[in-house]
Chains A and B, each alone.
Chain A
Amino acid sequence: VIDDDTLQRRVREALDSVYRPAPGLLGRCIEAVERSRRRSLLRGPLAAAALAAAAVIVAVATLVHHQLSQGTLGPAASPAPSPAGLVFTIDADNQVAALDATTLQVRWRRPAAPSPSSGIAPGDLLQLSPDGATLWALPPADARGGTALHSFDAATGAAGKVIALSTGGGTIYRALAVDSRRDSLYAVGIDAAHIVVTTVDLRRGVVLSTAATRTLPSTPAVGLDLPSDAAVTPDGTRLYYSFGGADEDRAGIDWLTIGAGVLTPCTPAKPGAACIPGFVNRIAFSGDHLLTTDSVHPQHLVEMSADGAVLRTLGTGLGGGASDGVVVDSAHGTATLLGGCPALGGMAGIDLGTGQAHVLAAPAAAGNTPAPDQPCGVRAVALRSGLLAASRVVAGTATAGTPGTVELIDPATGRVVRQAVLRSEVVDVVGGAQPGS
């Protein structure tokens, strides 16, 4: 009698002999599903659509006839699908996606560039054009950043123009800001010795200029001198960018005054230092004032004048290094801070009138990570719905192939109202209603 082990061994040998690995099978399955889905979307309403189309043709013909007879027929307007209800993401695999801002279902997804050669830190890598119709992405080539802008139709995901920002010299870009008044985009990057800002005309899709705005110290930096965020003031007069790694002496915020085709750098109080030294996090605006966070424990929201004079330092109730940014609701005079997931998470709302902070979701206890139903994340953005969208990245660097979570958070309560899992961790998020930085 053949014992079970022998039988199993022989079954395995037999089946191994006919088994052939099928690389790419998952992709083929999903393509088949997509094809089937498209067919069913078409097939179901086909008959009804045919009838409806006939009715529309008759109605349009009648209307045209009527307008022609009245002499009132003008150029036909064709409404484009609105991207306002979408959230856009770029992940660590350089896939750009549009998600429904309510359901977080993926509406389209396109590869922006080959996968980066390493994990990448979340950053300022996506921007919408001022009219919200075009999404501009800066897919990183490696951990430092990218060298070209890729455009996508925000509504359909159709790939558009690719603009090479760097024409050699090893310039790598890391932060984008849109100037809605001039229909321009500023890409902030570094070369071997400088911080550089490249100006792009979004209407024509061409690079207008590249300027070195800061000479970096020749001594090796602790970490990298990479830009981390860029933003144009609401009145379009200044471009701010934050930069720097762990070395506080060479980190901070600079600004450039935007003139007619000229960017004029600020003058630091101390030669070689940043114009606003020490602040490396995201930049937001409240009226004429600048808002950012410090990197101490517990963390503070810092309100500054346009020239960097600290006006107020407000407690947030969040842990040190917890928040990489501020989302400002100008209409209600509030700011929201979201703690990072590798840190302790948590969420705070701050009344910008009184300076009072309300901890909406308490940070996790020291040594723990945020609970699943507790908000945390990076690259938070306010949506037209009033909710915040953010990416939960569980380490400092996001990795391709590690599923990533995008979440919607109610800023009034700190409650996570929806989550969606994407193929890779998401490194930047922008909302369809939020052109600009």
Chain B
Amino acid sequence: VTASRCDAEDNEHRLAGGCNPVGARPRNTNVVDAGAALLVGVREGDVEAFEAALAPVIDKAHRLATAMLHDAAAAEDAVQEASIKAWRKLDRLREGAEMGPWFLGIVANECRTTLRSRWRRSVGPLSGELGNPGGHGAMEAGIVASQDMLRALSSLRHGDRLVIALRFWLDMPVEEIAKVIGKSPAAAKATLYRAIERLRGHVEPRDRA
């Protein structure tokens, strides 16, 4: 494992204990071994290996789902459902592919499904949380500015909201975002740029008002 891989906080290698920044455990060649063996196990349907591979990305996945749904409970449900779908799609996890971006992509799709089903139930995307002062979310926290921003985010298209969440909340570099959304880094960069511009367009009129 090279230092640069560790510095990039590669999930699978961190999991294997090789990217410990405080050096509590020395970096050694077993790390590559463990990571490779882990993904072999995952692809072969080993639940234990699947769990070990999911562990480093589960928090990110939950944050992403929260950013997409603005509802902590729904976000948990989405991540659970995404876990089941990921398990069923293990044969599509290509050799050499990384578990983290692949799983975040599944979580994002699950969030889109959740939002669509809400819309079909005529609740409207995200309006339940934002319009209900007694519910959990921004109103409960009493943060009016945050409420405005959540409304602005919820008015964005799914793809725009996704890249904004990945970049602005999960601090992912463009190269990683590209892996999650299944585009080239250049295309991901353009998508992110357009999404930021649209978000800015939603926020600024309110600021002026």
Partners in one complex: yes
> Which B residues are in CB contact (< 8 Å) with A372?
29-30, 32-33, 36
Distance from A177 Cβ to chain B, minimum over Cβ atoms (Å)? 29
Q: List B52-76 residues whose CB lies under 8 Å from chain A.
A: 52, 54-55, 58, 62-63, 66-67, 70-72, 75-76
> Which B residues are in CB contact (< 8 Å) with A106?
46-48
A17-25, A77-85, A181-189, A228-236: which lies at the B interface? A17-25
- Which of B40, B76, B84, B138 is close to A17, meaning CB atoms less than 8 Å apart? B138
Q: Given the complex of chains A and B, what is the CA–CA distance between A2 and B168 in angstroms? A: 14
> Which A residues are in CB contact (< 8 Å) with B138?
14, 17-18
A10 close to chain B: CB less than 8 A: yes
Q: Given the complex of chains A and B, what is the CA–CA distance between A340 and B184 in angstroms? A: 44
CB pair B149 A18 closer than 8 Å: no
Distance from A32 Cβ to chain B, minimum over Cβ atoms (Å)? 5
Q: Count the A-B residue pairs with Cβ separation under 8 angstroms: how many?
A: 181
> Which B residues are in CB contact (< 8 Å) with A297?
none
Q: Which residue of A lies closest to B15 (CB)?
A: A403
- Which of B50, B55, B153 is close to A14, meaning CB atoms less than 8 Å apart? B153
> Which A residues are in CB contact (< 8 Å) with B26?
369
Q: Given the complex of chains A and B, what is the CA–CA distance between A312 and B46 in angstroms? A: 45
A288 close to chain B: CB less than 8 A: no
Q: List B16-48 residues whose CB lies under 8 Å from chain A.
A: 16-17, 25-26, 28-30, 32-34, 36-38, 40-41, 44-48
- Which of A1, A369, A405 is close to B34, meaning CB atoms less than 8 Å apart? A405
Q: Given the complex of chains A and B, what is the CA–CA distance between A369 and B25 in angstroms? A: 13
Distance from B81 Cβ to chain A, minimum over Cβ atoms (Å)? 8
B115-123, B174-182, B200-208: which lies at the A interface? B200-208
CB pair B143 A17 closer than 8 Å: yes
A30 close to chain B: CB less than 8 A: yes
> Which A residues are in CB contact (< 8 Å) with B36?
372
Number of interface residues of B (CB under 8 A): 68
Q: Given the complex of chains A and B, what is the CA–CA distance between A32 and B145 in angstroms? A: 37
CB pair A36 B88 closer than 8 Å: yes
Q: Given the complex of chains A and B, what is the CA–CA distance between A25 and B26 in angstroms? A: 30
CB pair A11 B29 closer than 8 Å: no
Q: Which of A7, A29, A33, A372 has the most CB of B within 10 A?
A: A29
CB pair B72 A20 closer than 8 Å: yes
- Which of A22, A32, A420 is close to B48, meaning CB atoms less than 8 Å apart? A420
> Which A residues are in CB contact (< 8 Å) with B165?
15
Q: Mark A22-64, 1 if CB is under 8 A from B, else 0.
A: 1001101110111011001000000000000000000000000
Q: Which residue of B lies closest to A419 (CB)?
A: B37
- Which of B58, B83, B149, B200 is close to A32, meaning CB atoms less than 8 Å apart? B83
Distance from A28 Cβ to chain B, minimum over Cβ atoms (Å)? 6
- Which of B45, B136, B168 is close to A7, meaning CB atoms less than 8 Å apart? B168
List 22 A–B pairs whose Cβ atoms lie within 8 Å, in order of A's numbering.
A11-B164, A13-B145, A13-B149, A14-B150, A18-B137, A18-B138, A25-B62, A28-B76, A32-B81, A33-B87, A37-B47, A103-B46, A105-B46, A109-B48, A369-B26, A370-B29, A371-B29, A372-B32, A403-B52, A421-B38, A421-B48, A423-B52
10 new A-B contacts, CB < 8 A, other than A11-B199, A372-B30, are A11-B153, A14-B145, A14-B149, A15-B165, A29-B58, A106-B47, A405-B33, A405-B37, A419-B34, A423-B48
- A residues contacting B by CB (< 8 A) are 1-2, 4, 7-8, 10-20, 22, 25-26, 28-30, 32-34, 36-37, 40, 97, 103-106, 109, 341, 369-373, 392, 394-395, 402-403, 405, 419-423
